[in-house]
Copies of this chain bind each other. A is one copy, B any other.
Amino acid sequence: MPTIMDVARAAGVGIGTVSRVLNDSPLVSQAMRQRVLAAIERLGYEPSPIARAFGRGRTDKLEVLIPVFAEAFALEILRGIEDALVDTDYTLLMRTAANAAERERVCDECGVRGRADGALVVWMAPTQAFVERVSQDGFPAVLVNAEHPRLWRVGVDHDSAAERAAAYCLGLGHERMGLIDRRVDPFEPLSPGICQRGFETALATAGRAAAADHERLAEPGAAAGAFALDELLAGPEPPTAVIVGSEAQALGALAAARASGKRVPQDLSLVGYNDTQVGRDLGLTTMRVPLRELGRVATETVLSVLAEPGMPVAPRYLPTELAVRRTCGPPPRV
């Protein structure tokens, strides 16, 4: 492996000049630049990222903290992050957490001693210690679809989104509405459902009280969604439209409905939440959360804070919109 010194020697210049060429410094003459470039080419030299990081005190890495059992939406967010990074030199350091203990660990280790220049915390609450530390050090950490008053964050207004999803079904004429909800935070067993508030607001606005037996808080995943739907359908006055807090749960619900002989949307309307590829492919009507944009905007935020440190923390909310596809219709006539 040739080093910068080999290049300097081969080009007959000092290492300072080589370094300047490497970093596109304007303080090099054209002639010199060509000579150095030629030597670099000839030797097949590439600078060592580690030495470089060591020398200048930054790594060109962003750390991503993400729940490991996150469903497919995680991929969409990652895609957005990549979008923002595609023509930068940044690279991603991935840390996943499967439970609260691991969240603790990845939060504790995030960005220690400059191992990354910034961080993206996806879909989980940061630990208190993490919040203290990053706000103390001015370490650029942005929450994606998670909340904390003291941190940068980009997300959506879940209340409004859920409310509009429910209002859409109400507008279709549904009288009996159901909700299969999902917790806001995967690692907080007591965290509330993500759609509950908006759902109930919509019902209240329409002058209806929410029937508690039409609401379920389900575990993530299609199996739990299917189970919850079966429960709702087994009740005395089963809902004719159900809002589901995640795509995976919605797919489960869809399969369960069909398995029990219900036609969707003729007998039952279903609205998903998130909008992942498989939902799109299957024609699921969904409250679209712009996952990819979320990832992109969050990443751009980190980058801009990096470029201009000390900007005051400001949250950013992106709009949601209902993607009307093929799982909703008017209620069946009785």
Listed in ascending order, the chain A residues whose CB lies under 8 Å from chain B are 1, 46-51, 53-54, 59, 61, 64, 68-72, 74-75, 78-79, 82, 91-96, 98, 112-115, 221-223, 225-226, 248, 251-252, 254-255, 258, 277-278, 280-283
A53-B50, A91-B93, A93-B91 are known contacts. Are A278 and B258 too (CB-CB below 8 A)?
Answer: no
Q: How far is the CB of A323 from chain B (nearest CB, A)?
A: 14
Rounded to whole angstroms, the CA-CA distance of A333 and B132 in the bound complex is 68
Check if B50 sits within 8 Å of A115, measured CB to CB.
Answer: yes
A50-B54, A59-B50, A96-B78 are known contacts. Are A1 and B282 too (CB-CB below 8 A)?
Answer: no
Q: How far is the CB of A182 from chain B (nearest CB, A)?
A: 14
Contact partner of A251 (CB less than 8 A), chosen from B51, B112, B115, B251, is: B251
Rounded to whole angstroms, the CA-CA distance of A74 and B79 in the bound complex is 13
Can you list 9 contacts pairing A with B, beta carbon distance less than 8 Å?
A: A50-B59, A64-B94, A71-B72, A71-B277, A72-B72, A92-B94, A226-B281, A255-B283, A278-B278
A278-B222, A282-B252, A282-B255 are known contacts. Are A48 and B78 too (CB-CB below 8 A)?
Answer: no
A93-B91, A93-B93, A95-B91 are known contacts. Are A113 and B251 too (CB-CB below 8 A)?
Answer: no
Check if A48 sits within 8 Å of B96, measured CB to CB.
Answer: no
Check if A281 sits within 8 Å of B48, measured CB to CB.
Answer: no
